[in-house]
Amino acid sequence: MESKIYNQTGKPVGSIDLPESIFGVPWNADLVHEVIRLMNSNSRMNIAHTKTRGEVRGGGKKPWKQKGTGRARHGSSRSPIWVGGGVAHGPRNDKNFDRKINKKVRAKALYAILSRKFKEGEILFVDSFNFTAPKAKEAKGILGSLASIKGFEKLSTKKANTAIIALDRKSSTIEKSFQNFGNVCVEEFRNINPVSVLNHTYLIIMNPADSLKLLTAKTSKLQANIASPSLLKRA
């Protein structure tokens, strides 16, 4: 499995052999959907909050006597069926939406997404970006040059969720150069996750040789931990 490597002007400068275990994984829609759902649940922010009838101020006195009025019996004016009363089964900011995701399952979902994007021609390998200083103008020119590559024309026209630029190592110069582009996200390749990759059309991987080493090393470590004899011992 081989792919071309381009420079920042959009010209091919070489090629790279891609690991089959990362870019040749069959698509598994059910697995990807489950991982995306759990990750979205884990990132959910609890903001909305309603008070129960026990938390609403007032309502301690019985509105009227139990019998003899001809009206329905009530014990508190803060009942959920009263205006100004508490809310039954409303949203609470103390609810826990955290869900457990197995590392192996999350990794497999990421590889399935990477394989799908590679098959559809949405992954671009670039050797490096050369910035002497943070310059948004140069960053815009680079995106325009990369858009000249067949299949990546939307890099210069798509207004939202266009691409993730995955760096082999942290670079504040590159991050600052692209920080004013709302349709481009810059992060380290080792930190990419299924949600961010799936939410963007393109994935631009810088210095793919070193970037893929980080991912394959993480994969090997994960597989070693799973197959570790100490984890397979029985009491």
Q: Write the pLDDT tens digit of every residue in 101-112.
A: 999 999 999 999
Q: What is the pLDDT of residue 232?
A: 41
Would you state the pLDDT for residue 127? 92
pTM of structure: 0.81
The reply to whether 34 and 56 lie within a common domain is no
The answer to whether the beta carbons of residues 154 and 162 sit under 8 Å apart is: yes
Q: In terms of domains, do 68 and 182 share one?
A: no
Whole-angstrom CA distances from 48 to 85, 99, 137, 187 are: 17, 20, 41, 31
Q: How many domains does the chain have?
A: 2
Q: What is the mean pLDDT of residues 42-52?
A: 93
Identify the domain containing residue 76 by its residue range.
47-96
Would you say residue 231 has pLDDT above 70?
Answer: no
> What integer pLDDT is reported at residue 86 of this predicted model?
95
**Mean per-residue pLDDT, 115-137:** 93
Is pLDDT at 32 greater than 70 in this prediction?
yes
β partners of residue 163: 184, 202
Q: Is 88 in the same domain as 106?
A: no
Q: Are residues 129 and 168 in the same domain?
A: yes
Nearest Cα neighbor of 36 from 161, 193, 192, 195 is 195
**End position of a domain, from candidates 80, 96, 112:** 96
Across 1-24, average pLDDT: 90
Residue whose structure tokens are 């011992």: 233
For residues 7 and 76, membership in a common domain is answered with no
* Mean per-residue pLDDT, 40-52: 93
Mean pLDDT of 113-132: 93
CATH of the domain at 160: 3.40.1370.10
Residue 235 has pLDDT above 50, yes or no: no
pLDDT tens digits, one per residue of 208-217: 988 888 777 7
The three-state secondary structure class of 202 is strand
pLDDT digits (tens, 9 = 90+) for 54-77: 999 998 899 999 999 999 999 999
pLDDT recorded at residue 234: 42
pLDDT tens per residue across span 167-209:
988 999 999 999 999 999 999 998 899 999 999 999 999 999 8
Contact residues for 141 (Cβ-Cβ < 8 A; gap 6+)? none
Same domain, 184 and 159: yes
92 and 107 part of one domain:
no
Mean pLDDT throughout 82-99? 93
User: Is the four-CA dihedral 4, 178, 111, 229 of positive or negative sign?
Assistant: positive
Helix (H, G, I), strand (E, B) or coil at 96: coil
Nearest CA to 177 out of 123, 139, 226 is that of 139
My answer on whether 85 and 196 are in the same domain is no
Q: Which pLDDT score is estimated for 214?
A: 79
| Backbone torsion region of residue 125, taken as left when φ is above 0, otherwise alpha when ψ lies between -120 and 50, otherwise beta | beta
- Residue 82 shares a structural domain with residue 183: no
Q: Look up residue 133 and give its DSSP letter.
A: S
| Length, in residues, of the chain | 235
Specify whether 21 is located in the same domain as 109: yes
Terminal alpha carbon distance of the chain: 44
Boundary-marking domain end, from 96, 111, 137: 96
Strands (E), the chain: 2-6, 12-17, 123-126, 163-167, 184-188, 202-206
The answer to whether the CB of 156 falls within 8 A of the CB of 140 is no
* pLDDT confidence bin for 220, thresholds 50/70/90: low
Provide the pLDDT for residue 230.
Answer: 44
DSSP bridge pairs for 187: 166
Tell me: do 39 and 51 sit in the same domain. Answer: no
- pLDDT at 210 (0 to 100): 87
Question: Please, what is the average pLDDT of the chain?
Answer: 89
Helix axis angle, 29-42 to 103-119, nearest 10°? 120
CA distance 9 to 5: 12
76 shares its domain with 180: no
